[in-house]
Structures are given as C-alpha cells and as structure tokens.
Amino acid sequence: MSSLKNFASNVRRLRVARGLTQEELAERAQTGYKHLQRIEGGVAKGLHFRTLDKFSKALGVEAWELVCPISGPRIIKKSR
C-alpha cells in the first residue's frame, strides 16, 4: 500500500475513532471539507507536507503515524 493510501485510510480511521465528522476534522485541520473528502475517498493525487502536518496536529498524532501501515498508528480518543 502506498503512503498516500495509508494516509487516506489512517485519517478516516482516526477521525471515526475520535467521533469527528468530516466537517469537524476539516475545520480542525484548517482545510476544506471537499479536500478531506478527496483524501479519504482516495481521489487526491498527492500529499503535501503542509497537509500532513495539519492533519497530524488536528488528529493528535505524529505525522509519520499517518503514512505508516494501518496497524501502526495508535488510536487515542480525545475529548472534544
């Protein structure tokens, strides 16, 4: 699995585990809702470091955890 596919899977999995909607995560990551939809849907064509940084901070994980295989990232539920 590519890093981009890992990123998409991990973002979605962690978002759901934290009980966030796509809109809520997009707001936390200071990005557009449609951008998050493209990422999670596997339609995004590339991954910028800036995007990786925004989502890692919004989800409370290290950036590398979002691009590693699915079994890698820890899931820590955070309160809203």
Structural domain boundaries in the chain? 3-64
pTM score: 0.82
**Alpha helix stretches (DSSP H) within 1-80:** 3-17, 22-28, 33-40, 49-59, 63-67
Interval 7-26 mean pLDDT:
96
Token couple for 34? 């449609």
For the chain, percent of residues with pLDDT exceeding 90: 70
41 Cα distance to chain centroid? 12
Are residues 56 and 63 in contact, defined by beta-carbon separation less than 8 angstroms? yes
- Topology of domain 3-64, CATH: 434 Repressor (Amino-terminal Domain) (1.10.260)
72 — pLDDT class (breaks 50, 70, 90): very low
Token couple for 50? 């800036």
